[in-house]
Amino acid sequence: MKEKEVVIKYGEYQNKEDLGVEDSKLVLSANEATNNSYAPYSDFKVGAAILLDNGEIIKGTNQENSAYPSGLCAERVAIFFANSQFPDAVIKSIAIASQTDRFESDEPISPCGSCRQVISEAENRQKSKIRVIMSGNKCVTRIVEGIENLLPFGFQEDKLKKTCR
């Protein structure tokens, strides 16, 4: 077996002031969105905010359900809403934030596997990378340029095409 290494490139910011105006506004919107989360079972509220190339900011929150698989993550709520309301707009960035009183959650949270795949599909559809901004409750914020930095072996459309008969 030949081993290979996957390199993940990301920026890490210790102070929110270092983010810049556009990213700071998006992180603030994601934090505000957590207040609208429906998370009665986990008490883990997640908010996402998407910046579109037309200047619109779309917010999404996690939506839990007592039949656990029936819920939906904040990132997918925001992406699906953006695609349904602004089908021609390009997603420039998505910021993710969380809050809970149940346990310590100071590190930035990252999108789950399903959300990573949906972000990957959105990138493929719009033919451009999406900046993923992961904001922690303390001062740390991590930013990746393109989902391949979180999903290096993503499942792509070309894998669904027949290659032989």
Domain chopping of the chain, boundaries: 11-156
Residue 90 vs residues 93, 96, 145: alpha-carbon distances, Å: 9, 18, 15
Fold of the domain spanning 11-156? Cytidine Deaminase; domain 2 (3.40.140)
Catalytic residue selected from 75, 104, 107, 157: 75
Q: What residues of the chain score a pLDDT lower than 70?
A: 158-165
Annotation says 157 is catalytic: no
pLDDT value of position 163: 63
What H or E segment, with its residue span, contains residue 79? Answer: helix 74-85
Nearest alpha-carbon partner for 96 in 114, 115, 83 = 115
pLDDT digit string (tens) for 22-62?
999 999 999 999 999 999 999 999 999 999 999 999 999 99
